[in-house]
Chain A
Amino acid sequence: MIRFGYDRPSDVAEAVRDGNHGGVRFLAGGSNLVDLMKENVERPRRIVDINRLPLKAIEDHEGGVRIGALATNADTAADARIADRFPVLASAILAGASPQLRNVATAGGNLNQRTRCLYFYDNATACNKREPGTGCSAIGGVARVNAILGASKACIATHPSDMCVGLAVLNAVVNVTGPLGERAIPFGDYHRLPGDDPSNDNTLKPGELVTSIDLPDEDFSGHYTYLKLRDRLSYAFALVSVAVVMRIENGRIAEARIALGGVAHKPWRSASAEGLLVGEAPSQSAFLAAAHALLDGAEGQAANAFKIGLARRAIVRACKQAAAGTPQSQIDKRVA
Chain B
Amino acid sequence: MTTTLAKPKPDAETQLVDINLTVNGRAEHFSIPPWVTLLDLLRERMDLTGTKKGCDHGQCGACTVLVDGKRVNSCLTLAVVRDGASIETIEGLAQGSELHPLQQAFIDHDAFQCGYCTPGQICSAVGLLREGKATDRESVREYMSGNLCRCGAYTNIADAILSVKDREDAR
Per-residue B-contact encoding for A41-78, CB less than 8 Å = 1, 0 else: 00000010101000000000000000000000010000
- In the bound complex, CA of A152 to CA of B83 (Å): 44
B93 at the interface (CB under 8 A from A): no
Report which of A4, A31, A51, A332 forms a contact with B76, defined as CB distance below 8 A: A31
- In the bound complex, CA of A35 to CA of B57 (Å): 6
A101 at the interface (CB under 8 A from B): yes
Count residues of chain B with CB under 8 A from any CB of chain A: 34
* CB within 8 Å of A: which B94-129 residues: 124, 127-128
Give how many A-B residue pairs fall within 8 Å (CB-CB). Answer: 88
Report which of A2, A8, A101 forms a contact with B58, defined as CB distance below 8 A: A101
B17 at the interface (CB under 8 A from A): yes
Q: A99-B124, A331-B139 are in contact. Are A5 and B72 (CB under 8 A)?
A: no
A20 at the interface (CB under 8 A from B): no
Nearest opposing residue in chain A for B80, CB measure: A6
A104 at the interface (CB under 8 A from B): yes
Per-residue A-contact encoding for B145-158, CB less than 8 Å = 1, 0 else: 11100000000000
Are B81 and A103 in contact (CB-based, < 8 A)?
Answer: no
Q: Contacts of A31 on B, CB cut-off 8 Å?
A: 58, 73, 76
* CB within 8 Å of B: which A1-45 residues: 1-6, 8, 27, 30-31, 34-35, 37-39
Report which of B57, B64, B77, B142 forms a contact with A234, defined as CB distance below 8 A: B142
Nearest opposing residue in chain A for B65, CB measure: A100
A326 at the interface (CB under 8 A from B): no
Chain B contact residues, majority secondary structure: mixed
Smallest Cβ distance from A51 to chain B, in angstroms?
A: 6
Q: Contacts of A200 on B, CB cut-off 8 Å?
A: none
B47 at the interface (CB under 8 A from A): no
Q: Contacts of B81 on A, CB cut-off 8 Å?
A: 27, 30, 49, 51
- In the bound complex, CA of A101 to CA of B35 (Å): 19
Smallest Cβ distance from A101 to chain B, in angstroms?
A: 6
A235 at the interface (CB under 8 A from B): yes
Question: Which of B17, B81, B128, B131 has most A Cβ within 10 Å?
Answer: B81
Are B142 and A330 in contact (CB-based, < 8 A)?
Answer: yes
A8-B80, A331-B139 known; 4 new pairs, CB 8 Å cut-off, are: A2-B35, A39-B57, A99-B146, A103-B71
